Structure 1
Amino acid sequence: MRIAMNADLNFVRERIDPYRAYADEADRHDSDMRVRAYVGNALTQAQAPLGEALDATTRGLLETVLMKCMFTDQAFIRKFEHGPLDEPTVAALVRSDRNLLDSADRARSADAGSMAGILHEIDREFEARRSPEPVA
């Protein structure tokens, strides 16, 4: 698990500096905010050149996901706000952050046809963060 978490942590830290993972309450809020900002920035950059090439459904999904990037998910942050987190939980949260950043990176160069799939991935990952599955 440690090797997988280190790879995920390195991936995230290459994109977000500083990224302190989820060691304590302040770091949890900061990490969440930085991940949401990275994803939101990538989606905003992707949105501009695609413009009207996105169908109405995809534009609606994009707006929904951008809203998730702008505001803290209270159910997510409340669940992990206080007390220590065990290593499997931290590893799962870091993996989730990696997945979000990977999808965001792909969105930057996506065409209109692939954007909906990427947005669904991001939306699902934001939901999955609420109940992270341990990393094998």
Structure 2
Amino acid sequence: MNRRWTVSLGLLLLLPGCSLFRPHPRPEMAPPEEAARYKFPIALPTEGQQILSGPIAAAVSLAMEDFLPLGHTPPRDASPMELCALRRESYDVTAVPGSDDGVVFVSFSPRESACRDLQGPSRSDTPIVYAVDVGRSRILSVQK
């Protein structure tokens, strides 16, 4: 076996490993012409406003990315109920600082009004709870 063929074969075998280094999916951005038509208010309204501390927002973001990752594609044969259950807005989020410094508990529970009357397997009403170490940007445990 000549050296060039051996090197080529080695590189070919390493190619599937490159798929592990794909960039993280980012949220979809509206086209520039649509974005230009959107006008922000001079001041944000206070009605309905919810302020999240930085650690709480970070914990929710980390847990949500594990719970329903951006870029996840549903199976082709997914039922309407399954499609609804894969949307982030179908869940209410509760976040509570833990007694340990930097740990936040994040719970995802199905919204009562979401996915109602859709065909397909029913969703579990049991919340999923994450223990998130915000300082180290990692999930400590998941209770399902």
Do they superpose with TM above 0.5? Answer: no
Q: TM-score w.r.t. structure 1 length?
A: 0.28
- Please state which structure has a larger fraction of its residues in strand: 2
Higher relative contact order (CA 8 A, sep 6+): 1
- Please state which structure has a larger fraction of its residues in helix: 1
Q: TM-score w.r.t. structure 2 length?
A: 0.27
Which structure's CA Rg is the greater one?
Answer: 2
